[in-house]
Structure 1
Amino acid sequence: MESIIQTIVNNKVQVLTSTIVVLAGAKLLSSFFKKEPVYERDIVYIYDFPQSSMPVIHSSPFVLKVITFMRYANIPYKVINSMENGPRAKKPFIRYNGELVSDSQNIIEFLTEKFNVTSLKLKDEQQEAEAHLLRRYIDDAFYWSLVYSRWCDPVFSPVAVRGMLAGVPPMLFGIISRIAKSAVGKQLYNAGIGRCPREEIYSVAVKDVNSIAKRLGDSQFLFNDKLSVVDISLFSMLVQLYYAIEPTPISKAIKSNKNLVDYIERIQNIFKPCDFVCSSRSA
């Protein structure tokens, strides 16, 4: 077994090339026999990653954000689990009556206009401005601590990566997981967080959690009793961290703030049944 592993390591370029050729051939063959899907009018088709075994069924917070928005706004949709990427080479993206839209916030703004969603609008421009800043922080800063814990943390990532890539065939798991972890590591480095030691990453993340808890206070939602799009953004991120496949410093920090636990449960309870969380998979 060791000699086989060493052979693969020494010839990783050839192995990778062969793997790509096999996958490309399989994809070409399947595309030859595959019928072009029929898209119904007035249905939103949202493209998600292949199914994982993570506690949150939609393991991308951005996919979950759009789905939660559509559930709340009673927008008819269907989920397509696929390796296909959208116009910006990322997920989620949607297809609606022939139009393709990428990026979770762009999608929500597009659907808000198409379906005339007004129930999530805040009362004034000042609240909207604060909500914009909070959402930018959640989506573009807080997010990276989730990515680190899942893909690069030496303690927690081995279990999380297996959960994230549960749909990958066993014979390809090793090479695909190494490629994925390497790519994510570069993203984290470019974002800045990957240049920090592990203890500092979690120290900052725990401070972030505690700050969010203080901002929420005793309110039901971020802006008192009014659910808004930024609540959906925060919920979609917190729920990924709260229902961790392995307990992390971040999940422990969330659980130590009762108002955040209540907040997660309050938003979950809006949706009956709440079928996007499989708590039995959570640590």
Structure 2
Amino acid sequence: MDDGEDFKMLTLFSYPELYGVADNNPYGLKVFAFLKLCRLAFRHEHVFDAHEAPRAQLPYLLDGGNIIGDSDTILSHLIVRYGLSIDRDLTPGQRDAHLLIDRMLDDLYWVMSYSRWKDPQFWPLFRDKILTTHPSVTPAALDAARNYNFKRYYYQGIGRYEPAAVYARGLADLQVLDNLLPESGFLFGAAPSSADAALYGFIANMYYFDIETPLKTFLLARKKLATHCRSIQAMIGGYPAIHAH
């Protein structure tokens, strides 16, 4: 590949993998799955430091000379820029449902993040896995990130709840998502849409993790969500180990 071709290659910048999942952040994994489902060639650059990202948030995409941040904005850019058909057949009602699902996943994000960084029962497992999988990360850096997240949880509100109330909120989200899935196929039909990429980004980051949070326990008992996750995983390639106890 010459320098000109390299410059044109899509590059996804997102957090590193964990437990065999391509990105341990659901938003980066959402974009990763979308690119794979649409069969767009891209490079995947794993980074921990988000200071140079738009709004200092990961993921972001480099497309030629364009830098695009925010997972939804990235997907919209790619659909228009490359004439992608992944959502072309969605009805107006399905597009509305897609938006509502995205907003519910935004809510679920806080519970998932809380389970990793704040809950003292699961934090040591998450910390140790990061340190052993990514030796370049120091304990001090993780402690700083944890303190930063504690502030985020407090100001967002979820950090002021007891763990049982936090998980009740996340389990309610998961139950609705399970209700929305058909017995077979994907959210809106026989083929996946970008909403399925988003759902996978979140579910895979609980289902494949060897951390037995209440969220994972719930998923292991819900056939539709688990089947959906495995189906998308099979389509994008790779089979992380499933640790069910």
TM-score of the aligned structures, taking structure 1 as reference length: 0.78
Structure 1 unmatched runs, 5+: 1-36
Aligned mates of 1:144, 1:237 — CA distance in 2: 11
Alpha carbons of structure 1 residues 154 and 39: separation in structure 2 relative to 1, 3 Å: farther
Q: 1:57·1:278 contact (CA, 8 Å) conserved in 2?
A: no
Q: Which residue of 88, 91, 104 maps to 1:124? A: 91
Letter of the 2:200 partner, please give it: F
Aligned mates of 2:130, 2:5 — CA distance in 1: 28
Cα deviation 1:193-225 (Å, max 9, x = unaligned): 111101111122222222211121424212232
Aligned mates of 2:4, 2:144 — CA distance in 1: 34
Q: 1:122·1:228 contact (CA, 8 Å) conserved in 2?
A: no
Aligned mates of 2:208, 2:217 — CA distance in 1: 10
1:188 matched to 2:186: no
Alpha carbons of structure 1 residues 190 and 211: separation in structure 2 relative to 1, 3 Å: same
Letter of the 1:252 partner, please give it: T
Q: Which residue of 248, 252, 255 maps to 2:217? A: 252
Aligned length: 240
1:228 matched to 2:190: no
Aligned match of 2:26: 61
Aligned match of 2:13: 47
Q: 2:125·2:211 contact (CA, 8 Å) conserved in 1?
A: yes
Letter of the 2:204 partner, please give it: V
Cα deviation 1:35-62 (Å, max 9, x = unaligned): xx9871431011122x354342311111
Q: Which residue of 65, 88, 107 maps to 2:55? A: 88
TM-score of the aligned structures, taking structure 2 as reference length: 0.89
Alpha carbons of structure 1 residues 227 and 57: separation in structure 2 relative to 1, 3 Å: closer
Alpha carbons of structure 1 residues 96 and 282: separation in structure 2 relative to 1, 3 Å: farther
Aligned match of 2:121: 155
Structure 2 unmatched runs, 5+: none
1:281 positional shift: 7.2
Alpha carbons of structure 1 residues 235 and 223: separation in structure 2 relative to 1, 3 Å: same
1:133 matched to 2:100: yes
Q: Which residue of 61, 69, 72 maps to 2:37? A: 72
Q: Which residue of 216, 219, 229 maps to 2:181? A: 216
Aligned match of 1:279: 241
Return the index of the structure with the highest Cα Rg: 1
Alpha carbons of structure 1 residues 38 and 155: separation in structure 2 relative to 1, 3 Å: farther
Aligned mates of 1:282, 1:159 — CA distance in 2: 15
